Structure 1
Amino acid sequence: MAIRITGTGSYIPSSIETNANFNKHEFLNNDGSILKHDNDVIIEKFKAITGIGERRYADKHLNTSDLGFFAAEKAIADASIDPETLDYIIVAHNFGDVVHNTIQSDILPCLASRIKHNLRIKNPKCVAYDILFGCPGWIEGVIQAHAFIKAGIAKRCLVIGTEALSRVVDKHDRDSMIYSDGAGATIIEDTNEDRGILAHETASFTYDEAFYLYFGNSNNKDLCRDTRYIKMDGRKIYEFALTNVPLAMKTCLDKSGIPIKDVKKILIHQANEKMDEAILKRFYKLYETDIPKGIMPMSIQEFGNSSVATIPTLYDLITHDKMENQHINKGDVIIFASVGAGMHINAMVYRY
């Protein structure tokens, strides 16, 4: 049995929000005080740390489930399957559908049910459900699909990561420049080929770390106190990720039995370019070996942090030769890894 990804699809919104578009924002400290630097300095420092120059926002008439539906259609077409043969539709997201210029999240019905409805799937035995797992949600959905297939209760699953973070950002918070919208989808199924998912690893750190990412009030104290926005303790997340993500990746790779020299690509969730570079450096230091050139493709510069959509979108672009100087060949070993709200970490070793 080889459980593998047989089809991929992604949806990248066409609306580009450049760093220059933040010049007129009134950025404030957490206590509501005005930042001492001008916006151009704030934005320049932000880009130097995160690498983000622009990000994508969904059109006003679209929502998170719409983006997931578009990506799912492409993945189904890419795999050349009948959607009626799907056993599970697993949708990873964080905030449900938030209609543009509203403040309430809508997850009734769940996004997976909405996407199944839009795909016009009649089969009631195609089970549709959501997974809330922070940014590592898509990888965790793939791990669950793998478990279902390995246990013999499913043969084919659709796993989607979709998010519209632009709907839940505080415009008075510098961190709002990190977030973006998008969706990625994959078909996971049992095949007769000698490649696919080789190993996986997941951990939830909640004793002290659970609220490093949270929902909180705007930095603008004059705004409604009942409205909440995505907030984070960036320094603690950075330190947490650098300590724990490389270890999870190593545990997963060692479990797979694949030597480090055989790894061809590492696809890490992208929220901060400097953080990802530091994670990669620490990972290779654990094996006391040098980092191969071009092993970690980056899309954050153009697409920002689209949470659960980041990794499946990146994988889709590479496998369809839509990223310059980035290719994956049959038999190549890939490591997927992510960290996010919860605080959750996961990793997966995969032979393409």
Structure 2
Amino acid sequence: MNIRITGSGSYIPNRVVTNADFAKHLFLDDDGTPLSYTNEVVTEKFKQITGIEERRYVEENLLTSDIAYFAAQKAIEDAKIDPETLDYIIFAHNFGNVKDGAIQTDILPSLASRVKHSLKIKNPKCVAYDILFGCPGWVEGVIQAQAYIKAGMAKRCLVIGAETLSRVVDPHDRDSMIYSDGAGASIIEATEEEGGILAHETASYTFEEAYFLFFGNSFNKDHDPDVRYIKMYGRKIYEFALSRVPQAMKECLEKTGIPVENVKKVLIHQANEKMDEAIIHRFFKLYGKTPPAGVMPMSIHTLGNSSVATIPTLYDLLIKGQLEDQELNKGDVVIFASVGAGMNINAFVYQI
């Protein structure tokens, strides 16, 4: 028995927001004072570091559970399965449903339950639940699905990663330009086909790192102090990721016995182009190698950082041939890896 991704789907929102759309924003430092340079300088530096030129936001009438449902439908169709045969629906997100203009999140009922309802699944033994694991949530959902299948508790699972970060960002914080919306979904199941998930690795660093990402007040001191927004210590996250993620990827790969030369692609959480490139270079440096050309497909330039959705949407675009100059072929070895709030790190090695 091998555990494979047998279907995938994604939802890329229609609203395109370019860096130029932030030209009229009043960006402030964390002490509430205006930045000492123009927004043109802010956006240019931002593009140099993150690689982001534009990002996608959902329409006002859509919620995180809605776009998750759209992606789930596509994954089910792609796998050609009856949704009634699903044993688990595992939904990774971090902020629940936040209505446009609202200040509260809604996770009652769970978003997984809402997706199951939208899919019109009647089977009560299809268990639906949410996980909060930061940006690595979808990867962790896949690892959990694999564990259920290995334990004989399931044969087929739906794992979703979806987020509408545009509704929890501080418009006065330049970091708000990083975040975006999106959804990706995958069917994970036991098959007789060769390959699939070969090894995994997960870790949570909380002693000093737990609050590198957190919910905090707007930089605009006139805003309601009871309304919170996603905040981060970017430099600390960058240093943490570079010190921990490559080693976790190496430990994961070593469990398989596969040489690094056989790794065709690394699908890494689309957090920041500069950081992701540094992680990949450091990973290959652990083996005394340099990264081969094209080993790290990227979607962040046009889709931004949609947290738990970046890897499943990247995989879906890649496996369906929708990324320019990138492809996956039968037998290819791929590493999936992520880092995010918690601070959590995880990875799995997968053979197409």
Counterpart CA distance in 2 for 1:207 and 1:158 is 32
Counterpart CA distance in 1 for 2:6 and 2:164 is 26
Query: Is 2:117 the counterpart of 1:117?
Result: yes
What letter is aligned with 1:141?
G
What letter is aligned with 1:173?
D
Q: Cα distance, 1:20 vs. partner?
A: 0.4
Counterpart CA distance in 2 for 1:271 and 1:18 is 17
What's the C-alpha RMSD, in Å, of the aligned pairs? 0.4
Partner of 2:154: 154
Q: Cα distance, 1:146 vs. partner?
A: 0.0
Counterpart CA distance in 1 for 2:40 and 2:261 is 43
Partner of 1:72: 72
Q: Cα distance, 1:290 vs. partner?
A: 2.1
Instruction: Name the SS of the counterpart of 1:290 in structure 2.
Output: coil
Partner of 1:45: 45
Partner of 1:307: 307
Counterpart CA distance in 2 for 1:257 and 1:67 is 38
Instruction: Name the SS of the counterpart of 1:289 in structure 2.
Output: coil
Query: Is 2:194 the counterpart of 1:202?
Result: no
Partner of 1:251: 251
Aligned length: 352
User: After superposition, where does 1:156-305 map in structure 2 within 5 Å?
Assistant: 156-305=156-305
Partner of 1:6: 6
Give CA-to-partner distance per residue, 1:223-280, whole Å, 9 cap, x none.
Answer: 1000000000000000000000000000000011111010000000011100000000
Counterpart CA distance in 1 for 2:258 and 2:116 is 37
What letter is aligned with 2:241?
A
Q: Percent identity?
A: 71
What letter is aligned with 1:83?
P
Counterpart CA distance in 2 for 1:58 and 1:200 is 32
Give CA-to-partner distance per residue, 1:128-186, whole Å, 9 cap, x none.
Answer: 00000000000000000000000001000000000000000000000000000000000
| Runs of 4+ with deviation above 6 angstroms | none
Contiguous gaps of at least 5 residues in structure 2: none
What letter is aligned with 1:55?
R
Query: Is 2:80 the counterpart of 1:103?
Result: no
Instruction: Name the SS of the counterpart of 2:203 in structure 1.
Output: strand
Q: Cα distance, 1:345 vs. partner?
A: 0.2
Counterpart CA distance in 1 for 2:313 and 2:256 is 24
Counterpart CA distance in 2 for 1:153 and 1:18 is 45
Instruction: Name the SS of the counterpart of 1:256 in structure 2.
Output: coil
What letter is aligned with 2:233?
D
Contiguous gaps of at least 5 residues in structure 1: none
TM-score (norm 1): 1.00
Counterpart CA distance in 2 for 1:78 and 1:305 is 25
Partner of 1:333: 333
Counterpart CA distance in 1 for 2:186 and 2:57 is 22
TM-score (norm 2): 1.00
Query: Is 2:69 the counterpart of 1:63?
Result: no
Instruction: Name the SS of the counterpart of 2:339 in structure 1.
Output: strand
Counterpart CA distance in 2 for 1:81 and 1:272 is 35
Query: Is 2:323 the counterpart of 1:323?
Result: yes
Instruction: Name the SS of the counterpart of 1:184 in structure 2.
Output: strand
Counterpart CA distance in 2 for 1:212 and 1:103 is 22
Counterpart CA distance in 1 for 2:290 and 2:97 is 43
